[in-house]
Structure formats: C-alpha cells, structure tokens
Amino acid sequence: MEQKTKQRIALSALFFQSGLCFSTWASRIPDIKESFDFSDSELGAILLVRPVGALFALPLSGIIVDKYGSRLCSSAGIVLFSLSLVLLGISPGVPWLVGSILLFGVAANLINISNNAQALVVQQKYGKIIMASFHGLWSLAGFCGAAIGALMLWLDLGIVPHFLIISVTVLALLALSFPHLTKEQDKQGGKKLTFRKPDRHLMILGSIAFCGMMCEGCMFDWSAVYFKQVIKAEEGLIAAGYMAFMGMMAFGRLISDSFTNRYGSTTIVQFSGVLIFTGLLIAVLFPSLITGIIGFLLVGAGTSSVIPLTFTEVGNNKSFSSGIALAMVSTIGYFGFLFGPPLIGFIADLLSLRASFALVAIVGLAITIIISLKNRSNTQATNN
C-alpha cells in the first residue's frame, strides 16, 4: 500500500474518531439534563459553554498547530477529546461539568484546525481535491455515535461506562493511526506566526464559511422544531427532516470530491448555495411532510460541500501558514454557527419560524453571490 494511501486512511480515522466523540456526548445530553435536574434554560446556559469556549480557543489552536505541527496536535486533540468525554461522564457537580465541557470545546477546535491542516497536506500529495471525503467520515461518525447511544440506552447502560467504552475505542484507533499520520516537511510557523488581521482572500473565505455555518447551525438546532411547529409532523416523524438533512450532508460529502475535481470548486460552491436556497424555499412555501423532507434533503446536499471546499481554498493562501489561516477562517465562520440559531429564534418570536427559515434561505443564496463575485474579480484581475 502506498504511503499516501496509508496517510489518508490514518487521517480518515482521526476525523471519524472526532465525530464519534462529539456525537457520543450529544446522544446523552438528555440524560445529563435529567441527572443534574437542569431546567431548559439552565441546560441552554450550560451547553453555551462549549461553543463560547471553543470560539475563544480557535486563534490559540491556530498558533499551537502552527508551532508544533498538525500531526502532533491532531493526536493530542483526540486524546484530550476522549479524556474530556470521560470527565463529562463522571462529573460530580456543576463546576466540574462546566470545566469538562470547556475542555471538550477546546479539544474539538484543536482537532478541527489540526485535522484540516493535515488534510491539506495529504490532499497536496494526491494532487486533487479529497477534503470533503474526510468531512463525510466525520458526519458518518455522527450517525454511528447516535446509533451506539441508542443501543446503550436500550441496554440500560449508564453514561460513565458508555463514555469509557467510546474513549478506549478512540484511543486504540489513535494508537493504530498515529504512526501513519503526515508530518509537514516545510513547516514555517516560526516565520509566519503573526497576529495580523486576515487578508482580503481570507475575509472572503471567512464570509462564505460564516454563511455556510449559519445554515448548518440553523438545521442542527431548528429542524425538529420546524417539523413539529410548522409542518405539524406526527410525533414519530418530527426527526425526519433532521435525519434527511444529516443523511444527505454525509452522503454529499462522500461523493463531493469527484464532482469538484470534474467541475471545479467554484462551480460546486455556487451550486451549493442555490441548493440551500431552493431547499429552504420549498420547505417555507410548501410546509408539508413530503415537501419538507425534499427541501431538507436539498439543504443537506448544499451544505455538504461549502465548508470542506472553503478549507481547501484556505490552503492556497500564501500570506499565512495553514494553521493560522484555518484558524482565521474558522473563527469568522464560527460566529455564524454560534449566533445564527439564536437569531432564528429571535426572528421567529417577532414574525414566524417560516420567516426565519426564509432568511436562512437568503443566507444560503449569499454563498453563491459571494463566490461568484470573487470569481469575477479574479477573472478581471487576470485579464488586466
């Protein structure tokens, strides 16, 4: 087996491990809520610790990856991720739980930056785009984690043994993966370590990431609510929209690379924005079970490629190292993920949930507009 193939498999395993840890935690949030007797608002405040902590950790993660390399940081991040999962499970009180969630968020973002930096190195060796396949395995791990969580509940297994099983499994996979991970051969972190603001190229990519993550955040947090309140789905079908979205996003990421290598990343991102807009518009204008599912399938297909291809384009930036550049773009994008869902709720209270989803449809179309303007600007610059 070729070395680059081993490196790709090893990194794919890391993306899967990361997704498995995250979905394992998510699958037991209701049990943690019950064990601490949290109200809905208290749980919301506790859950906010992870994204807020992660947001502030993003720039630091970029610096760490830039200094020590993505190979070491990816592995350290997986270790921290799996250990924080165990700490979450054994939390004896709220302060411990908050600290564990904070560590969980920091580890998640260290993995996010370092894994994508690794992916850029491996992708360069292949000479073609393969980024989306890595993200597809993260999404696939989300399904596996949810299924394992359901099995653990069916077996009446507690949170601690559940989290321990996953943690040990992840660490065992890491031990197998680590020897084959890629070590950057031309790491120039010492020269490029900087606190300068992002250049125009990274700001544009950050704005695309912002729109993409806002759309994802809306679907993650509001899909079930939309199907319950607007589509009036029966109790057993409330999660149908979310599953349609997640399933198509995972599938889309697994097949996206072949389309990107054939038609180009600009065309795929342009089409992705149109898919998001069309899917949400269908769900807003025709709020029934079938059309809602079709609409959410289109949104899943649209969101599948935006972030992987944005991160791929980050690798073409010459002003910053990949770790710093990824951190900059991720930080801008993460604001969309963090503040998008609350904005949806605010607009829903003022107007309606359908109006909120119509706004997100426009945000999706903005992806197409931004990438089209960027492409036109590049073409004019080349011609001149």
Residue 202 near residue 318, CB atoms below 8 Å: no
DSSP code of 155?
Answer: T
Nearest Cα to Cα of residue 174 among 100, 105, 81: 81
DSSP code of 228?
Answer: H
Q: For the CA atoms of 274, 247, 132, 259, what is the dihedral angle to 10 degrees? A: -60
Which parts of 69-130 fold into alpha helices (H)?
Answer: 70-89, 94-126
Residue 7 near residue 129, CB atoms below 8 Å: no
In this prediction, residues 346-370 reach a mean pLDDT of 91
Name the packing angle between helices 40-47 and 29-36 (round to 10°). 120
Tell me the whole-structure pTM to 2 decimals: 0.80
Q: Is 2 left (phi over 0), alpha (psi -120 to 50) or beta?
A: beta
pLDDT recorded at residue 374: 84
1's tokens: 């087996």
Model pLDDT for residues 228-277, shown as the tens digit of each residue: 888 988 877 777 888 888 889 889 998 988 899 999 889 999 999 999 99
User: Of 6-10, 65-69, 93-97, 171-175, where does mean pLDDT reach its minimum?
Assistant: 65-69
Residue 245 near residue 223, CB atoms below 8 Å: yes
pLDDT grade for 339, boundaries at 50, 70 and 90: confident
- Encode 38-66: b = buried (16+ Cβ within 10 Å), e = exposed: beeeebeebbebbbebbbebbbebbbbbb
Would the pLDDT of 57 be above 90? no
Which one is predicted more confidently, 275 or 2? 275
pLDDT recorded at residue 190: 43
In degrees and rounded to multiples of 5, residue 195 shows phi and psi of -110, 20
In this prediction, residues 60-88 reach a mean pLDDT of 88
Model pLDDT for residues 144-171, shown as the tens digit of each residue: 887 888 888 888 888 899 999 999 999 9
Would the pLDDT of 382 be above 70? no
In percent, how much of the chain has pLDDT > 90? 30
The label of the residue with tokens 């208290």 reads 42
Residue 114 near residue 61, CB atoms below 8 Å: yes
pLDDT recorded at residue 189: 44
Task: Report how far residue 26's alpha carbon sits from residue 108's, in angstroms, rounded to the nearest whole number.
Answer: 13
Which one is predicted more confidently, 316 or 140? 140
pLDDT recorded at residue 1: 65
- The set of residues, in sequence order, having a beta carbon less than 8 Å from that of 96 and lying 6+ positions away, is 87
Model pLDDT for residues 174-225, shown as the tens digit of each residue: 999 998 888 765 444 444 445 567 788 889 999 999 999 999 888 877 887 8
